[in-house]
Amino acid sequence: MPLDRKWLLGMARHERDALGRTVQYTPPDRWDQPSPAEGWRAHDVVAHLGSTEVAAAQTIAAEDRTEFEEFVKETGARHFTVEGFHGWNAWAVEKRADTPIVSLALEWGKAADLLLSRAAGLSDEKWVEKVPWPVDVLRIPFFIQSRVCEWWVHGEDIRAAVGLMSRREHPPIFCVADLAIRTIPYALQLGGIQFPGKTVLIELDGVGEGAWRQSLSVGAAKPTEDTAPDAIIEGQGHAFAQVAGHRADPEEMLYEGWLQVGGDVEIAETVLRHLRYFA
């Protein structure tokens, strides 16, 4: 089941405001600092957020995604693969390379507000429908959750780049972990891996804490509480979310003890190496 609608939308509003404060408190002379997002400055991270949020707000209202169409026209791309979406991201960021940071922040903030307003105004029937997003089609609850994941992960990118402390709060970190766990079968499939009939138990402590049981093959039924897991992953929620956001090496997290694996260790480590939250 998706996360509770009221909780998700309230938490998304909180996370939107938190990222806004991160941008607000960043010293103006630090926007050219390199970020953990490979090849991007802190400035570029905000450019990426702005471009994707405009597209997200258009998507939830079934409007034309103007920059997607512009990218397709310029590059001849016919559909978005994972790599193709990365190409669009790079293209959209390059377009904004010289845009003042205030303008980028306003672009993102207005689009995020519009997205959340449109999501809040949906009927219960519309809330469970799907929207077309590059690479995959997502149900609206997971679409909103994926945007929250993006805001937290890239907010941490900005904070790391400009010298602000990491913001460790339970709701967004839980959202990252939860969506990454839900999509494990699809992440494995993208890597050409399947474990038919196998399951994993994931138990996290600290910020982002929670317990999940997940099947490891696409289309398999959710395991019950009585199902003995084949693989086990335990540890700190923040470390797990960093791995899911591709901001930490799973091998390093295991070596340092922030994460531990049990049961079929090979399966557990494979799951960790393929985590993603499908933003």
Tens of pLDDT, residues 171-209: 999 999 999 999 999 999 989 998 999 999 999 999 999
Between CA 199 and CA 229 the distance in angstroms is: 5
Q: 235, 272 in Cβ contact below 8 A?
A: no
pLDDT confidence of residue 83: 61
Looking at residue 108, its pLDDT comes to 98
What percent of the chain is helix, strand and coil (3-state, nearest 5)? 55, 10, 30
**Residue 231 contacts residue 271 (beta carbons within 8 Å):** yes
The model carries a pTM of 0.94
Q: Interior CA angle at 187 toward 268 and 241, to 5°? A: 65
The Cα–Cα gap between 272 and 237 comes to 13
Q: What is the pLDDT of residue 84?
A: 63
Q: Which residues pair with 52 in a beta bridge?
A: none
Given this model, what pLDDT does residue 74 score? 86
| Structural domains of the chain ordered from first start | 5-167 (1.20.120.450), 175-274 (3.30.1050.10)
User: What pLDDT sits at residue 62?
Assistant: 94
- Give every residue of the chain whose pLDDT is below 50, as ranges: none
Q: What is the pLDDT of residue 190?
A: 87
Give pLDDT, residue 271: 98
Q: SS3 for 246? A: coil
Structure tokens at 72: 């397709």
Measured CA to CA, the distance from residue 181 to residue 219 in angstroms comes to: 14
The token pair at 114 is 């519009």
